[in-house]
Amino acid sequence: MNTEQEHSTTVAEIEGTIRRLRSVVSARVRGNEKGEIEEIHVVTDDSRHPKQVSRDIESLLLSELGLRVDHRKISIAQLREPGLLAGESRLKFLRVDLSMNRADTEIKVSLGAGEDIFSGTSRSERSEAQLEAVAQATAAAVNEYVQCSGEGAVRGSEVRAVLRTVAPRVGEIVTVAIRLAGPQGDENLVGSALIKDSAWQAVAYATLNALNRKMARLLG
């Protein structure tokens, strides 16, 4: 089996390598008369997103077999667990990382869905704008999740406001307002969260609170 790089290997080796990947159930490779890879058909369980698996296939074949495969030749069929509720696959907050220098602050938010991690980043030149940057980074991580699902219908999201208020006998609350652009028009979303461990974490929770409610629509 040859690629454009003229690296020779067998179909069995390629299929066996792919089957070692986490969540892969089966793999079938089809070549042409020139010995080039034409199609790679893979069946996976629903523990990982198809685009994540496709990226792993590209990386693994290149690093272990020296095969450079166009992602358009890889098709993923996913087996879903019967009775899986949409709420069980909601995105979860993992962490906020800040990297500061003299010019600005880079904020990275990491979210989890099953065993996969999705990250988004944003920059802030002013310390008072850091909470808004956390919301923007969280929204970017959600967008990455939607794109990796392969079914996303969202054109983009914009953080419009981040507000901190104090509720008597409750505590300090963060509210995030987001404008969501989609094929059916724009929509304003609002989410909120109590500030417990940190304001940054609360902003990430509030952003997720707004977007998780629309996750079914985000995924088409």
Asked whether 214 and 180 are in contact (CB, 8 A), the reply is: yes
Alpha-helical (H) ranges within 98-214 are: 130-149, 199-212
- Say whether pTM exceeds 0.85: no
- Around 113, how many Cα atoms within 13 Å sit in the side-chain half-sphere? 23
Give the strand pairing for 92-100 and 105-113. Answer: antiparallel
Per-position pLDDT tens, the chain of length 220 = 544 443 467 888 899 899 889 888 888 898 887 778 889 999 887 778 888 889 999 999 999 988 889 888 998 887 755 433 344 456 789 999 988 877 788 999 999 887 788 899 998 877 678 899 999 999 999 888 877 765 554 557 788 899 999 888 788 999 999 988 766 677 888 999 999 888 999 999 999 988 876 765 555 5
What domains appear along the chain, each with residue ranges and CATH number?
Answer: 11-78 (3.30.300.30), 91-218 (3.30.160.270)
